[in-house]
Amino acid sequence: MFSKKNTEASGRDSSTNRAGQGTTTGHNMIVANTRLTGNVIAQNDFRIDGEFEGGLDCEAKVIIGEGGRFEGDIKCANAVVEGYFKGHLNVREVLYVKESAEIFGEVVTGKLVVQSGSIFEVKCKMTDQNSADLQVKDSSSNGNKKNQVDKLVKSN
């Protein structure tokens, strides 16, 4: 059943040819009950269901699962947060904050989707890759305790 003859006939040895080797697809994952400390650079999607403390620079999507915890800095293309995040989060495109999420710190993102029930206690800056930045500005000078969004045009 697992003879050498079968692996030679197929032209590959299944013990060394793992799925995803030599390809640019696949997911990176930190599973539950796993703790990682340090800095990671990833080209593919990265899912965190365990604990991660440090820095993550990801060219694709970062997902912090409902049981996941991240403390540190993340830079990525897209992000989905269902668990706990504390630190600096820089998302080039879209940040999805699910109802189970708890986010503390600073966020910079292109687009933001926040579900009710989530905890979103951050300083948030919205960016547009075209010609303008959106910035949260405290309007306490006029007695209004709500934050207002002012559009700031980049100077040329």
Residue 128's pLDDT is: 76
For the chain, the straight-line distance linking the first and the last C-alpha, in angstroms and rounded, comes to 69
The number of domains in the chain is: 1
Residue 2's pLDDT is: 52
Q: Which of 36, 33, 67 is nearest to 52 (CA)?
A: 36
Q: Is 18 part of a structural domain of the chain?
A: no
Which domain range does residue 64 map to? 25-128
Cα–Cα distance measured from residue 75 to residue 11, given in angstroms and rounded to the nearest whole number: 40
CA 71 to chain centre: 12
Q: Is 116 part of a structural domain of the chain?
A: yes
Upper half-sphere CA count for residue 116 (Cβ side, 13 Å): 0
Q: Is 100 part of a structural domain of the chain?
A: yes
Residue 75's pLDDT is: 98
Q: Is 61 part of a structural domain of the chain?
A: yes
Q: Is 2 part of a structural domain of the chain?
A: no
Q: Is 135 part of a structural domain of the chain?
A: no
Calculate the CA dihedral of residues 67, 91, 39, 80 and round it to 10 degrees: 20
Residue 24's pLDDT is: 58
pLDDT by 10s per residue, the chain, length 156: 455 554 444 444 443 344 444 455 788 999 999 999 999 999 999 999 999 999 999 999 999 999 999 999 999 999 999 999 999 999 999 999 999 999 999 999 999 999 999 999 999 999 975 434 433 444 344 444 344 344 443 433
Residue 69's pLDDT is: 98
Q: Is 5 part of a structural domain of the chain?
A: no
b/e map of 76-94 (b: 16 or more CB within 10 Å)?
bebbbbbbbbbbbbbbbee
Q: Is 41 part of a structural domain of the chain?
A: yes
Strand, coil or helix: what is 65? coil
Residue 13's pLDDT is: 43
Sequence letter at residue 12: R
